[in-house]
Amino acid sequence: GENVEQHPSTLSVQEGDSAVIKCTYSDSASNYFPWYKQELGKGPQLIIDIRSNVGEKKDQRIAVTLNKTAKHFSLHITETQPEDSAVYFCAASGAGSARQLTFGSGTQLTVLP
Amino acid sequence: EADIYQTPRYLVIGTGKKITLECSQTMGHDKMYWYQQDPGMELHLIHYSYGVNSTEKGDLSSESTVSRIRTEHFPLTLESARPSHTSQYLCASSELAGDGTGELFFGEGSRLTVL
């Protein structure tokens, strides 16, 4: 099955700086890569996703890049703000009829004022 | 705001008790999921359903059971709770997309503590 590795597990940045979170996946058949943000006391929420026919996607301060050859994808947050502090999860869709999402282990991002 | 609700939000019970965690969604989604989230943050899929009368086990083995009698409800039951069941349980739903894509809408979670 699919295996997704996510790094780093914790990340602290100064407000206004950029943050980058990286993930690798194992199944070359995976074709959907979402990112979820989980704030304290809440469930995860989709913030951006990318499909395998696209190399990069941007939405305001958030961007995701995908390298299918290397089987890795990254989340980039620019001009970080305190409200960006949360746990971020990457995920990849697995192969087979079930096609469940496999999540990475999460990154605790802290934006320091 | 996602229209998916979990109750109770917090539950503290003694060993051996039977508990049911409720999950309801008003979006008409066919697919529903239960994830277990440990203190280390990782999300583990324990059950999912494609629709009414469909239930499947996820990647992480769990002693809990689920049922899907109605589209909008996907309750999770533990017949005899143990301290090892202490965790946060997250319910989610999505539209049934054939290619495996589709946004997951999560509830706010049920935090279970078994003494």
Q: Which residues of B touch A32 (CB under 8 A)?
A: 99-101
**CB within 8 Å of B44: residues ≥ 6 apart:** B35, B36, B37, B38, B58, B59, B60
What percent of chain A has pLDDT above 70? 95
Short-list B69, B115, B63, B68, CA closest to B89: B63
User: Pick from B43, B101, B106: which is nearest to A45 by CB?
Assistant: B106
Give the dihedral of Cα atoms A65, B105, B86, B47; nearest 10 deg.
-90
**Whole-number pLDDT of residue B97:** 66
Q: Which residues of A touch B99 (CB under 8 A)?
A: 31-32, 93, 99
- What are the tens digits of pLDDT across the range B54-111? 999 988 888 999 999 999 999 999 999 999 999 999 999 998 666 667 889 999 999 9
- What are the tens digits of pLDDT across the range A36-54? 999 999 999 999 999 877 8
- What are the tens digits of pLDDT across the range B60-74? 888 999 999 999 999
Q: Which residues of A touch B41 (CB under 8 A)?
A: 87, 105-106, 108
- What are the tens digits of pLDDT across the range A78-104? 999 999 999 999 999 865 445 678 899
**Whole-number pLDDT of residue A97:** 44
